[in-house]
A = this chain, B = another copy of it.
Amino acid sequence: MPTPLVLKLARVLDLGAADVAALAALGSPSRRCAAGRSLVEAGRRMSAAILVHEGWAVRHRTLADGRRLVLDFVLPGDICDPAVFVTSRADFSMQALTDLRYGLVQSEDVLDLVNRSPRIGAAFWWAEAHEEAITRAHLVAIGRMSAYERVAYLLWELWTRLRVVNLADADGFEAPFGQDVLADAAGLSYVHLSRTLCRLDRDGLIHRRPPHGWRIPDAARLREAMQISDALHLTPLPRRIQQRLSR
């Protein structure tokens, strides 16, 4: 069974057996972290990238008066801050939503890896660019979409990302968090988030199976509701580029 990171990268890069082995070894030994704990604290100096093997986390940021925004969800196979080594201090916090299994990749090691193997390098680059694309889409959603569209978008994004790493099935997924987290990701109050979910439910765009099940009865209608098109860079790289990586 390939690791989630390999699953993700395999759709973008042609990976040889050696690459797969190298990627599978990334972030060992694995460490654990209990649900609710913070792995990264905004403002702290960071010395390693965090590769999540198993479990869910969020990156978020809290304003002086407690208002919080969830920047994104960190899923298995995600590298939180692949560019640590050029980043002086964390500009976000990271918190485990479930018990977590993860690994660290020290800044210096990232640098060496990237320099030594163009393919692993590309993997880190891609991870960084992917993360940025997600953040940009999120920005558009929060900046210009209505609550209804925005929540539809977030659910679709999660579902899409989970399917890539085989953690969702064709008609829905399990998400281990409460509505407060989703509200902070959507930039809504939890009350209005609840209203909005009920509407999506009533309209048949989603179906909730408590406590944590989200079914998507009609993917096409959900996509239609969200006004934005899929642009998470999940398609394979052009051959031209791939060849340059093979040296």
Shortest Cβ distance from residue A227 to the other chain B in the assembled complex, whole angstroms: 5
Set of chain B residues within 8 Å of A64, measured between Cβ atoms: 227
- Expressed in whole angstroms, the Cα–Cα distance for A227 and B240 within the complex equals 46
Size category of the A interface is 35 or more
Return the CB mask of A126-142 against B: 1 if under 8 Å, else 0. 10110111011111101
Q: Could you tell me if B63 and A145 are in contact, using CB atoms closer than 8 angstroms?
A: yes
Q: Could you tell me if A236 and B135 are in contact, using CB atoms closer than 8 angstroms?
A: no
Shortest Cβ distance from residue A157 to the other chain B in the assembled complex, whole angstroms: 13
Set of chain B residues within 8 Å of A63, measured between Cβ atoms: 140, 144-145, 227-228
Set of chain B residues within 8 Å of A235, measured between Cβ atoms: 88-89
Shortest Cβ distance from residue A87 to the other chain B in the assembled complex, whole angstroms: 5
Copies in the complex: 2
Given A63-B227, A125-B128, 20 new contacts (CB under 8 A): A61-B136, A63-B140, A67-B144, A67-B145, A71-B140, A86-B126, A86-B233, A86-B241, A87-B133, A88-B233, A89-B233, A89-B235, A92-B136, A107-B240, A111-B245, A112-B244, A128-B132, A132-B135, A142-B142, A142-B187
A interface list, Cβ under 8 A from B: 12, 42-43, 45, 61, 63-65, 67-69, 71, 83, 85-89, 91-92, 107-108, 111-112, 114-115, 118, 121-122, 125-126, 128-129, 131-133, 135-140, 142-145, 187, 227-229, 231-233, 235-238, 240-241, 244-245
**In-complex Cβ contact of A129 among B61, B67, B83, B142 (8 A):** B83
Q: Which residue of B lies closest to A137 (CB)?
A: B91
Q: Could you tell me if B231 and A91 are in contact, using CB atoms closer than 8 angstroms?
A: yes
Supply 11 A–B pairs (Cβ within 8 Å), ascending by A. A69-B144, A86-B241, A87-B129, A88-B233, A88-B236, A91-B231, A107-B241, A111-B244, A115-B121, A125-B128, A143-B187
- Expressed in whole angstroms, the Cα–Cα distance for A40 and B55 within the complex equals 37
